[in-house]
Amino acid sequence: MRKIIYWVHTSIDGFVDGPNGEFDWPVMGPELSAYSESLDERVDTLLFGRPVWEMMVGFWPNAESISQDPHILAFAPFWRATPKIVFSHDYPGDEWTTRVIGTDLAAEVTALKAEPGKDLLLTGGASIAAALTAHGLVDEYHIAVHPVVLGGGRKLFGEPKERLNLRATESRLLDGQVVVTSYHRAS
């Protein structure tokens, strides 16, 4: 069975974006970029909620013409070449979308996980991560905590209805400032 890996950046106060949707605060140094690339090597499909998708599709198709940052130069070709699934009830898709999942989330994602292939990477997004977590479909959480206090925005885990017990499997300080901890669902 394929795993869903949730890879997300958060502030110290637990927000995935700022009060006005800002996402200009994560700093991708060489060690954090290498960590992200190691997750990419494990997967063959990228998963996005619609808000993150709209941000990604507005940047990654032509990222190299916007920035020569080493992380961007490494990730852009991978992003373009990898199948991408968007979760949305009303998004029709676009030229970069491989598939849209909008109905019966639990059944469709369970079937997706049962398909042959490598693992699936859910990048960012609070709402879809919370929904998949509520259905017990996220297997690993990789959370990068950046040294910034945002004071508001979307919470990392939204407003969960039930307790989520996780087991920490590793924690690292990367680039001297970002703490990345990986967790698995507790059995």
Catalogue the long-range contacts made by 88-95 (C-beta closer than 8 Å, 24 or more residues apart).
Answer: 88/49, 88/50, 88/53, 91/50, 91/53, 94/57
Beta-carbon count within 10 A of 24 CB: 7
Residue 159 confidence class, pLDDT cut points 50, 70, 90: confident
Please report, rounded to a whole number, the percentage of residues in the chain having pLDDT higher than 90: 90
The CATH number of the domain holding residue 123 is 3.40.430.10
What mean pLDDT, rounded, does the chain reach?
94
What range does the domain containing 97 cover?
4-185
Residues 93-112: tens digit of each pLDDT: 999 999 999 989 999 999 99
Cβ neighbour number for residue 116 with a 10 Å cutoff: 6
Which segment of 39-48, 67-76, 107-116 scores lowest on mean pLDDT? 67-76
Tell me which amino acid residue 96 is: W
Region 115-144: what's the mean pLDDT?
A: 94
Instruction: Please tell me whether residue 84 adopts helix, strand or coil conformation.
Output: strand
Percent of the chain at pLDDT > 70 equals 99
The rounded distance, in Å, linking the Cα atoms of 87 and 93 is 10
Q: What is the pLDDT of residue 4?
A: 98
Q: Which residues of 78-94 are buried (b: 16+ CB within 10 A; e: fewer)?
A: ebeeeebbbbbeeeeee
Give the total number of structural domains in the chain: 1
- The stretch 126-155 carries a mean pLDDT of 95
pTM assigned to the model:
0.94
